[in-house]
Amino acid sequence: MFIGDLHIHSKYARACSKDITLQRLADNAKLKGLSFLGTGDFQHPKHYPDILNSLQEDSNGILWTKETNPFPFIWQTEISLMYKQDGKGRRIHHTILSPNKGVTAQIIESLGKRGRMDYDGRPIFGFSSIELVEMMRSISEDIEIIPAHCLTPYFGIFGSMSGFDSFEDCFKEKSKYVNAVETGLSAAPPMLWRVSKFDKLNLISSSDPHSYHSYRLGREATLFDFKQITYQNIIKAIRTGEGLSGTIEVDPNYGKYHFDGHRVCGVSFSPEESKKHNNICPVCRQKLTIGVQNRIEQLADRPEGFVKNNAKKFYSLLPLAELISVILKKGVSTKTVLQEYNKLISKFNTELNVLMDVSLEDLKLVVNEKIAETVIKIREGKVRYKPGFDGNYGRVILDDKDENNLIKEDHNFLKSIQKGLDSFSH
């Protein structure tokens, strides 16, 4: 089995940490237990030479780090399209995979004719998703386009703010050339199974990390079953589902856009609560940011709990450092957390091995009972979350005390905001 993370960013992408390098990504991917990564941002005028200098391409379109134990990458980027279609402004992010250096150079040339690419690793273009497919098909049939984080409100192909209701609405007659969507952190496969028109789409999962750390990299990933990592094997799996064995997910409640709400107003609503408020924020009276769960409720023609025929297997996990951080109540990158993390990695080799396979008894030999038990609870889906909303990550609730603390925190936040509003209006 191979585990791939196909949506990566470089340090040149907006809001991404400035110390990301391909080597650091490779090092952490090994710790995580990932088998390959996307290069991220391949069209960026500074990242492109970085890729060419630090990695070596083989005849299968795979790029390897130049070290004794080389790590593989594939050519990958994400672009943002802003355009008007069917009377509505659209903002859609697409991940693009390229089969080799030659094709990548042609993609870069074509994109370069349509806009600047030096200001952000995820550049914005004014053409449509349909034109993107036409442009890529005219370069090579082996290029794969995958709509990114497909349900997020602002940039998802099915998102609430500027998305479409179906693949066909977005791509029209070109939809036959697009085969998969990225679920995104705020959605999990069972949510997408509820919409019958999504049945033909293959689901992949990626982490879209903004740093190289193991609590971001590979938090979502795609599982492949083929003999060798080649570009052709990867896209065959994405296109046909053959060789695509499933995904690694976080709990969708963990994602930043699962629920509806307003971050600055401290308002977080379930779809039902939003409905009661006519999708208007009770604090500022503006429209709420409608999240992924609500969007699924709008599109679904099947009940919650529906299981799709021949559905691929998925694991619902939480990055190990975050799990330890929640239990020890220390920051995710503190020494204390890192110490426990390293104990587990040095004993069981990779983080995904710890999260997916190691038994409770074995875990208890290395870390305290609470950490060991929580690993198993997460694996079995027995941990609750306070859902993320409007750009805020969801949070793990380990016990009632936790929940009370979160409620108190929210209450204080709301009070301080309210105070701010009052003094503003006076």
CB under 8 Å to 147, separation ≥6 — which residues?
92, 93, 94, 95, 129, 156, 157, 170, 178, 181, 182
Closest contact distance (angstroms) between CB of 79 and Zn ion is 9
Nearer to Zn ion by C-beta: 42 or 71?
A: 42
Closest contact distance (angstroms) between CB of 18 and Zn ion is 19
Closest contact distance (angstroms) between CB of 178 and Zn ion is 16
State how far the Cα of 46 lies from the Cα of 277, in Å rounded to an integer: 48
Nearer to Zn ion by C-beta: 155 or 315?
A: 155
Nearer to Zn ion by C-beta: 265 or 323?
A: 265
Closest contact distance (angstroms) between CB of 171 and Zn ion is 18
Q: How many CA atoms lie within 13 A of 42 on its CB side?
A: 30
Nearer to Zn ion by C-beta: 28 or 206?
A: 206
Nearer to Zn ion by C-beta: 256 or 379?
A: 256
Nearer to Zn ion by C-beta: 154 or 306?
A: 154
Closest contact distance (angstroms) between CB of 196 and Zn ion is 26
State how far the Cα of 93 lies from the Cα of 35, in Å rounded to an integer: 25
Nearer to Zn ion by C-beta: 283 or 338?
A: 283
Nearer to Zn ion by C-beta: 213 or 256?
A: 256
Residues that bind Zn ion (CB under 5 A): 93, 148, 262, 265, 281, 283-284
Closest contact distance (angstroms) between CB of 249 and Zn ion is 17
Closest contact distance (angstroms) between CB of 390 and Zn ion is 9
Nearer to Zn ion by C-beta: 289 or 293?
A: 289
Closest contact distance (angstroms) between CB of 56 and Zn ion is 28
Closest contact distance (angstroms) between CB of 310 and Zn ion is 29
State how far the Cα of 187 lies from the Cα of 166, in Å rounded to an integer: 16
